[in-house]
């Protein structure tokens, strides 16, 4: 018998565990809720970048990545895009995640020419390749 209290990993309430070590939650309902939350948070990240699909990269064509003034524009663009596709507004956390993702993923290459469509070369950190994006 345990003679100390655990904190529920979901509601953070103190409880006396019925089973040694294994128990993380005060009740079955907290266990279920925590499981659902985890499942949901894994599915909720809204950008699903298809690595082989250039269209999806073009779609997020965040004009002027690497430009100091890009932040607001990029966030607005992505917000509109998410709102349209997901039919729900993105949360501030979503926006922050996306902004970081986008701003970190592509880095403009200064010593290469634009492609025949006038897209600018960027180094895609994730794919470790050069991609051409609209500016």
C-alpha distances out from residue 11 to 33, 36, 39, 63, Å = 10, 14, 17, 43
H helices of the chain, where?
28-43, 54-59, 70-86, 92-105
Q: Which residue stretch of 18-26, 34-42, 44-52, 84-92 sits at the interface with Zn ion (rule: CB under 5 A)?
A: 18-26
How many chain residues bind Zn ion (CB under 5 A)? Answer: 5
Does 11 interact with Zn ion (rule: CB under 5 A)? yes
In terms of CB distance, is 24 or 135 closer to Zn ion?
A: 24
Does 30 interact with Zn ion (rule: CB under 5 A)? yes
CA distance 135 to 84: 22
In terms of CB distance, is 11 or 47 closer to Zn ion?
A: 11
In terms of CB distance, is 26 or 65 closer to Zn ion?
A: 26
- Closest distance to Zn ion from the beta carbon of 91 (Å): 24
In terms of CB distance, is 10 or 122 closer to Zn ion?
A: 10
Q: How many CB atoms lie within 10 A of CB 90?
A: 20
**The pair of three-digit structure tokens given for residue 41, joined into one six-digit string:** 């948070």
Does 26 interact with Zn ion (rule: CB under 5 A)? yes
**The pair of three-digit structure tokens given for residue 38, joined into one six-digit string:** 């985890």
C-alpha distances out from residue 44 to 17, 38, 64, 91, 103, Å = 32, 10, 27, 11, 20
- Closest distance to Zn ion from the beta carbon of 31 (Å): 8
Can you tell me which of 2, 3, 5, 10 binds Zn ion, judged by CB under 5 A?
10
Q: Contact residues for Zn ion (CB under 5 A)? A: 8, 10-11, 26, 30
């Amino acid at each position: 018998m345990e003679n100390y209290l655990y904190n529920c990993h979901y509601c953070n309430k103190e409880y006396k565990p019925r089973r040694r070590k294994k128990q993380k939650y005060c009740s079955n309902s907290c266990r279920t809720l925590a499981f659902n939350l985890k499942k949901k948070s894994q599915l909720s990240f809204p950008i699903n970048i298809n690595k082989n699909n250039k269209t999806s990269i073009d779609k997020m064509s965040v004009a002027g990545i690497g430009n100091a003034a890009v932040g607001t524009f990029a966030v607005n663009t992505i917000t509109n895009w998410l709102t349209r596709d997901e039919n729900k507004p993105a949360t501030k956390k979503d926006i922050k995640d996306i902004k970081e993702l986008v701003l970190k993923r592509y880095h403009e290459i200064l010593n290469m020419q634009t492609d025949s469509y006038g897209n600018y070369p960027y180094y895609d950190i994730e794919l470790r390749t050069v991609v051409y994006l609209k500016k």
